[in-house]
Structure 1
Amino acid sequence: MQTQPLNDADFEILDDILLKHGDDHSVLNTCELDGFFTALVSGPAQVDIADWFPAIWGGQNPNWENTGEAKQFIELSVRHMNTLARQLANGSEVFAPRFEQTEHNGQPVTLAEEWCFGYLRGVAVANWTPLPVIQAQLLQGISECAEQDNFELPQDLDVAAHQQQVAEIEPAARGLHDFWLSQR
């Protein structure tokens, strides 16, 4: 199996498959999938594919076009999870959550809501136990970001405050990973 990080074409394949087979209960894009996998590789114990794979699809196995499509999705997913695990375990500066980019009133805006929603889905699947106060606060920041509904950004969005909240997500994810790593 290949160990290279995914490239843009690989992410496009994942996005296409997620969109094709997804519904309101499943992961719908690679930003959410990235958050999901980040939580899985960061948690207290390894999560088996038998647990995380159905969670991507809202508990239902997709009606695959063919076995090759399913195999490709699983291989790309595992490759991405392994990349995230290596980056986080090595304290690598190349770890960067896969956030969406948009524009609002002529200003670039980074959106982390879907990533955070995926992260919380991963926390649930990995069955994280209660956290100490500092780590609970880190998770709370991710949770608060996931609760925002930014399908349409409000006209009066405070872009600077929003971007500050988004900037806190990556260090929170690193801090939570480091905490669980020290507990294993």
Structure 2
Amino acid sequence: MKSAALTDQDYQRLSDTLARFAAQGAMSLEKLDGFFAALLCGPEQIKPVDCLPAIMGAAFDDDDAFNTPKAMEQFVRLLSGHWLDIAHTLQRGQAFQPWLDEDEHGQVHGNVWAEGFSEGMQLMHQDWGLLFDDEDAAPALAPIMALAFEHHPDPEMRPFLHGASAEQREAWLASISDSVASIYAFFAQLRADMAAAEAADEDE
């Protein structure tokens, strides 16, 4: 039976829980969204529950992080619900809309989302090399990587040494949806081959 999509209240609860663990290195909802997008676009999909240490930071090993086992189960349910929301969007070929938080001035930057996407890529970095090496498909990564490395500590890693213009940032942000769709399509055959191989192994 298909799970129901998360409600606005569910997302608020998920965001609040992640924010509660922020001091322990947990991802924000924006970063989680980018992280999940990369995992779902990539060559081999990893279950959300297997990523809990990366998502929760030090809170993963904190026995006091949740008051009851039920509270922990609810948190995992919300994570899985968001994962499925993204998965269904990509599988149906619908436009992906990244979760981008506004700052105190009401402005959207997108760096945190892109950093989450970059972290997701690093879990399967060897397979992602296939995309980097593809001359036609690699440009889809450009806006995401530009946002991810815009404020990198090493100036040589930044796309613009003194920061991007407002116009450039708008262009990067506007490209995220198409980039995610292109990356998802690029790895589609590889995901299908892996799924077929896994099914064959189970039948033996």
Q: If the TM-score is normalised by the length of the shorter chain, which range does it land in?
A: 0.7 to 0.9
Q: Secondary structure at the match of 1:172?
A: helix
- Identity score, percent: 26
| Aligned residue in 2 for 1:153 | none
For 2:40, give the aligned amino acid: V
Shift of the alpha carbon at 1:171? 1.0
Shift of the alpha carbon at 1:56? 0.8
Q: Secondary structure at the match of 2:23?
A: coil
Shift of the alpha carbon at 1:16? 1.3
Count matched residues: 174
| Aligned residue in 2 for 1:113 | 111
Unpaired segments ≥5 residues, structure 2:
152-162, 192-204
Pairwise CA RMSD of aligned residues?
A: 2.6
CA distance in 2, matches of 1:2, 1:21: 30
- Looking at secondary structure, tell me which structure has more strand per residue: 1
102, 107, 121: which one aligns with 1:123: 121
| Aligned residue in 2 for 1:152 | none
CA distance in 2, matches of 1:22, 1:126: 25
Cα deviation code 1:9-46 (max 9, x no counterpart): 1111111111112336431x211111111111111112
Cα deviation code 1:150-178 (max 9, x no counterpart): xxxxxx97322221121112211111111
Q: Looking at CA atoms only, which structure, 1 or 2, has the larger radius of gyration? A: 2
Moved more, 117-126 or 59-68: 59-68
Shift of the alpha carbon at 1:124? 1.6
Shift of the alpha carbon at 1:83? 1.4
Q: Scaled by the length of structure 1, what TM-score is found?
A: 0.81
Cα deviation code 1:63-106 (max 9, x no counterpart): 2222122111110111111111111011013x3111123586xx
CA distance in 1, matches of 2:107, 2:21: 29
Q: Secondary structure at the match of 1:81?
A: helix
1:74-153 equivalences in 2 (<5 Å): 74-93=76-95, 95-102=96-103, 109-127=107-125, 129=127, 130=129, 131=131, 132-149=134-151
> Structure 1 residues 170 and 24 mapped into 2: Cα distance closer, same or farther (>3 Å)?
farther
For 1:100, give the aligned amino acid: D
Shift of the alpha carbon at 1:2? 6.8
Q: Scaled by the length of structure 2, what TM-score is found?
A: 0.74
CA distance in 2, matches of 1:44, 1:68: 33
Cα pair 2:21 2:59 within 8 Å, conserved = no
- Looking at secondary structure, tell me which structure has more helix per residue: 2
CA distance in 2, matches of 1:22, 1:110: 20
For 1:8, give the aligned amino acid: D
Shift of the alpha carbon at 1:59? 6.5
Unpaired segments ≥5 residues, structure 1:
150-155
